[in-house]
Amino acid sequence: MAHVTIRRDADNRSLAMPLREDTPLRIMRSMFGWDPVRGWDPFREVSPFLAESPLTASFSPTFEVKETKDAYLFRADVPGVHEKDLDVSLTGNRVTISGKREAEPGDKSDSYYAYERTFGSFSRSFTLPAAAAVEQVRAELSEGVLTVNVPKRPEQQPRKIDVSTESHKG
């Protein structure tokens, strides 16, 4: 008998009852994360995110992509990333922005009370629309913000069409 629970009645006599895998008690225990060895851990499901170490966490900058009347703008928050560690490349109609933020050297004897900064390499690719003038792409890094400007082709930019009215002679 694999799963046996010893229960005692009012006269202290033992009653053996096998626990099946699909009993309501087992289902409830599994739903609430109860483990017979470790007990209940309400944070077990999110623990991989809480326990990230600087070695496993990776740097992933946030991007803003917008279209203006004249261009497509890509902005990325890349604080601590040096210009030499950034690469903006264009292949066909795809722009790829990649780079890395190096970890600062630390002393093994240092005690950290919080370590939320992330380091590592990143790469993001975006497909450009047909209206993009890929030969005129510019990139600029200023105060930790990378801006990639992709102008629109003049013939693809919106233009105003005058509406005329026709007079009816009656």
pLDDT tens digits, residue range 25-74? 666 666 666 555 555 555 555 555 444 444 445 788 999 999 998 999 99
Count of domains in the chain? 2
Q: Do 90 and 21 belong together in one domain? A: no
Residue 79: the pLDDT is 93
Write down the mean pLDDT value for the chain: 78
Q: Do 81 and 149 belong together in one domain? A: yes
Asked, for residue 166, whether it belongs to a domain, the answer is: no
Asked, for residue 138, whether it belongs to a domain, the answer is: yes
Q: Do 67 and 150 belong together in one domain? A: yes
**How far, CA to CA in Å, does 55 sit from each of 21, 116, 118, 159?**
39, 11, 9, 52
Measure the CA–CA gap between 140 and 96, rounded to whole angstroms: 15
Highest average pLDDT, of 28-37, 102-111, 120-129, comes from 120-129
Q: Do 15 and 96 belong together in one domain? A: no
Give mean pLDDT, residues 102-107: 83
Q: Do 18 and 42 belong together in one domain? A: yes
- Its pTM surpasses 0.85: no
Q: What percent of the chain has pLDDT over 90?
A: 41
Q: Do 71 and 135 belong together in one domain? A: yes
Q: Do 98 and 33 belong together in one domain? A: no
For the ranges 69-73, 86-90, 151-155, 159-163, the lowest mean pLDDT is seen at 159-163
Q: Do 13 and 90 belong together in one domain? A: no
For 71, residues 6+ apart whose C-beta sits below 8 A from its C-beta are 149, 150, 151, 152
The token pair at 53 is 């170490």
Domain extent, residue 10, equals 4-50
**Domain containing 100 — which CATH number?**
2.60.40.790
Query: pLDDT band at residue 1, thresholds of 50, 70 and 90?
Result: very low
The token pair at 48 is 């991989």
